[in-house]
Structure 1
Amino acid sequence: MSAAVHETPPDGEDAAGSGPPPPTRRPEPAPRTQDVRTAVAQAPADLDLGGGWDTTARLVGGRWVVRRPRRPGVVAQLRRETRLMPWLAPRLPLPVPVPEVVPGEPFAVRHPLVPGEPLTHPAHGRELGLFLRALHDCPTDEPLRLGVPRGRPADDLARFAADVVPLLPANLHEPAHALLAAGRRLTGDVLVHGDLGPEHVLAADGRLTGVIDFGDAHLGDPAIDLAWALHGTPPAFADALAAAYGVTDDQRERALVAHRLGPWHEVAFGLDHDDPAIVREGLDGVVARLRPATGP
């Protein structure tokens, strides 16, 4: 649900093979669905955690999560996380990964395991609201110096109009263009997670235990992070989050726009990587989120 981003590595950073990163705020297709605590107890030395579209993840020695890029262009993204997260982690009220580069080849980063399981039954809206408030209140000068990119929502919207709208049923073209016009409101400039969803918010023993996967962090509209949190969760969770965060009516409306735009990024990713299954799944989401405004 965020803009495409453009990374400019700090002076001296090796950006070879990085290229422009893919659009941010994409749902991960392979969340950690196992009970990691049970699995670690049964096989403490080594465990495949799956990963997502950009990286693989493996638990090593029962403690370290080792992540490797699926494509050369992801290396720059992982290096950026190793610069950003040591600065960011002390400013947040929940644990987050703080990765470091693993010496040697092939390239990998590692961080201590953040405990918990992906959020499946949200019950902690206040905790997440306070987390997002702290994240969005962070100063932005240092993230920019560390290589965190600015979002480019105008580029995303132009891409969606050119490549996604033609794939939709003709009767949805008008509401699709109306949604893209509303997307021009997503112009904020705060530090955002960029891919916040239930697979990246961890919980255990009745409390939130951490937020993971900051690979899509960038400067953008806070509505990007509020999208799922306000419009993809039960009302009680969303209300508690909104109260803790201090959500305004305008932010809530922009978050709905961002929520409805989320699957468009999935379609674009599938087109970029020649994956018809991802394109179809994304189009199903685009249609489903357009139809509440248009009827059956």
Structure 2
Amino acid sequence: MEFDGGWDSRAVLVDGWVERRPRRPEVGAQLRREARLMPWLAPQLPLPVPVTGVVSDEPLIVRHRLVPGSELTEPASHHGRALGEFLRALHGVSATDAVLHGLPPQAHTRSERAADIHRFRTEVVPLLPAAHRDSARTLLDAAAELPTDTVVHGDLGPEHVLADEETLSGIIDFGDAQVGDAAIDLAWALFGTPPEFADAVARTYGVTARLRARALIWHRLGPWHEVIHGLDIDDPAVIEDGLAGVLARLC
């Protein structure tokens, strides 16, 4: 069984194991970092996560046991409390120790962020209506100043939050984990979910006004990545959908 394709790796289910192969050569280093990081990180977290290991070097194949559950489609307050507890634990992990176990350091995060913002300025802003370009540049200026001091998942959305009938059953896809801004992991949870879920996350985690403001910046940046992906694969439909999201969140 093959899972729906991610941008970075191809995943298939084999006898209860999820086997992943890089779609591009540069993704190999990311998969190897996960294989170092996750066995160390998993015991510190209150929900199941993929514990990845390398099973073949040539070709590169990593695998982990299937994390049970399915995509969270009806977020409720009890799910929000569980996610708040998970994020509080994740963000409390020592960044220094995480880097020693394979997590990309602050300098890598800053470099990647600067590269993303450069592409946003030069490739996405020109595609926006002229009346929205100043507010778009203001958003990018704010994003450039966000902190890089916390162990984060880096791509937390409904497709990576799993639930069974009653509870959250796991968090998957740590390919974008980094030493970054805690607020990035709260963007979808606070601004893309029903109020009862978002409120439960905020109360359980202890979200401050400043953290909420930073999470809103990350929420507004989400569709910019879709535009860049559409440009990279030369897909006008993806680009159009991403631009619509950029404009909707700028307002």
Change (3 A) 1:106 1:252: same
Change (3 A) 1:277 1:108: farther
Contact 2:34 2:102 survives alignment (8 Å): no
Measure how far apart 1:171 and its partner are.
Answer: 1.4
Change (3 A) 1:148 1:275: farther
Query: Match for residue 139 of structure 1?
Result: 94
Measured in 2, the distance between the counterparts of 1:191 and 1:104 equals 27
Change (3 A) 1:279 1:146: farther
- Give TM-score, length-normalised by structure 1: 0.79
Identity %: 63
Q: What does residue range 172-183 of structure 1 map to in structure 2 within 5 Å?
A: 172-183=132-143
Measured in 2, the distance between the counterparts of 1:135 and 1:278 equals 32
User: Structure 1: where are the runs of 5+ without partners?
Assistant: 1-46, 292-296
Residue type of the alignment partner of 1:145: L
Query: Match for residue 3 of structure 2?
Result: 49
SS in 2 for 1:51: coil
SS in 2 for 1:58: strand
Measure how far apart 1:160 and its partner are.
Answer: 1.4
SS in 1 for 2:189: helix
Measured in 2, the distance between the counterparts of 1:78 and 1:274 equals 26
Superposition RMSD in Å: 1.5
Measured in 2, the distance between the counterparts of 1:263 and 1:57 equals 24
Which of 69, 80, 83 is residue 36 of structure 2 equivalent to?
A: 83
**Across the two proteins, how many residue pairs are aligned to each other?**
244
SS in 2 for 1:214: coil
SS in 1 for 2:56: coil
Which of 232, 236, 246 is residue 272 of structure 1 equivalent to?
A: 232
Q: Which runs of 4+ in 1 moved over 3 A?
A: 272-277
Residue type of the alignment partner of 2:40: W
Measure how far apart 1:230 and its partner are.
Answer: 0.5
1:68 equivalent in alignment to 2:28: no
Change (3 A) 1:73 1:155: closer
Which of 175, 180, 188 is residue 220 of structure 1 equivalent to?
A: 180
Query: Match for residue 113 of structure 1?
Result: 66
Measured in 2, the distance between the counterparts of 1:65 and 1:231 equals 31
SS in 2 for 1:50: coil
Measure how far apart 1:178 and its partner are.
Answer: 2.1
1:211 equivalent in alignment to 2:211: no
Measured in 1, the distance between the counterparts of 2:196 and 2:124 equals 34
Contact 2:143 2:217 survives alignment (8 Å): yes
Contact 2:40 2:101 survives alignment (8 Å): no
Q: What does residue range 25-40 of structure 1 map to in structure 2 within 5 Å?
A: none
Measured in 2, the distance between the counterparts of 1:144 and 1:101 equals 19
User: Structure 2: where are the runs of 5+ without partners?
Assistant: none
Measured in 1, the distance between the counterparts of 2:160 and 2:127 equals 30
Query: Match for residue 248 of structure 2?
Result: 288
- Give TM-score, length-normalised by structure 2: 0.92
Measured in 1, the distance between the counterparts of 2:102 and 2:47 equals 23
Residue type of the alignment partner of 1:119: L
1:162 equivalent in alignment to 2:109: no
Measured in 2, the distance between the counterparts of 1:131 and 1:104 equals 32
Residue type of the alignment partner of 2:51: V
Contact 1:50 1:58 survives alignment (8 Å): no
Contact 1:185 1:254 survives alignment (8 Å): no
Contact 1:186 1:223 survives alignment (8 Å): no
SS in 2 for 1:80: helix
Query: Match for residue 197 of structure 2?
Result: 237
Measure how far apart 1:155 and its partner are.
Answer: 3.6
Measure how far apart 1:104 and its partner are.
Answer: 5.5
Note the alpha carbon deviations across 1:162-186, whole angstroms, 9 max, x for none: 2210011111112212222222342
SS in 1 for 2:3: strand
Which of 103, 119, 135 is residue 148 of structure 1 equivalent to?
A: 103
